[in-house]
Structure 1
C-alpha cells in the first residue's frame, strides 16, 4: 500500500504518485481516494488487487481521526501502529517510529 495527500491545485508530480497512473489504468494497482470537505485535501491510497482492505481501512481511520471518533477507542500510538502495519512496515520499524514520535512529543512539551 502507498498513501499520499494532495492539497488543492497540486499535480500528481508534485505529490509523487504520477507513476501509479498507468498501473491503475491496467488494473495492476487499485486506487482509492477521498477528499476532506473542510480542507479540500485529497487522500489517495494505492494497493494491489485483493489488498483493498488496506486502503479502505486507512481512509476510514483518517475520517475517524478527523471527526475525533478514533480517539474514543485508540491512542495515537495505536493509530501509528495500525497505519504502519497497513503500509507494510516491520514491527521493529513501527516501534522505532512510535518511540521517536514520543520523544519528539516530549521535546515539544518541555519547550512549552
Structure 2
C-alpha cells in the first residue's frame, strides 16, 4: 500500500516519512507535500507515543482525533462532524450504569 506514491517521491512532489515498531512489526508511512514536513513529523511523534501518555499529559481522546484530522488536512467541519458522530456512537453503546 502506498507504492503508487513512490514515483511522486522520486520526482520530489511528495516527501516520505516512516516509523516502525514491534511487536507486531508495524510500519507507518506518511506522504506529504514538500514544505509540509512538519505535519509528518508531528503525526509520527503522536502515533509513536502510547496514548495513555498523551492522555496523562492532558489530551483527551477527542483532542487527539482533532489533531489527527488537522494533520491530515480535513476541513474543520469534517473533523467536527466526526467527533460529534463518535460521541453519539459512544453514548448509544454506553451501558446505563456507566452514565
Cα RMSD of the aligned pairs, angstroms, is 1.8
1:40-87 per-residue CA deviation (whole Å, 9 max, x = no partner) reads 1111100001100000000101112x2621112200000001010011
Q: TM-score, normalised by structure 2?
A: 0.87
Residue in 2 that maps onto 1:63: 48
What does the per-residue CA deviation read over 1:8-30, in whole Å, with 9 as the maximum and x for residues that have no partner? xxxx2xxxx12101001112100
2:69 alignment partner, one of 57, 78, 84: 84
Q: Unpaired segments of 5 or more residues in structure 1?
A: 1-11
Provide TM-score, normalisation by structure 1.
0.77
Q: Tell me if 1:46 matches 2:31.
A: yes
Q: How many residues matched?
A: 96
- Please give the secondary structure, in 1, of the residue aligned with 2:93: helix
- Say which structure, 1 or 2, has more relative contact order (CA 8 Å, 6+ apart): 1
* TM-aligned CA deviation for residue 108 of structure 1: 2.8
SS of aligned partner of 1:68? helix
Which of structure 1's runs of 4+ aligned residues deviate more than 4 A?
none
Aligned mates of 2:32, 2:46 — CA distance in 1 = 16
2:55 & 2:40 partners in 1: Cα distance?
20
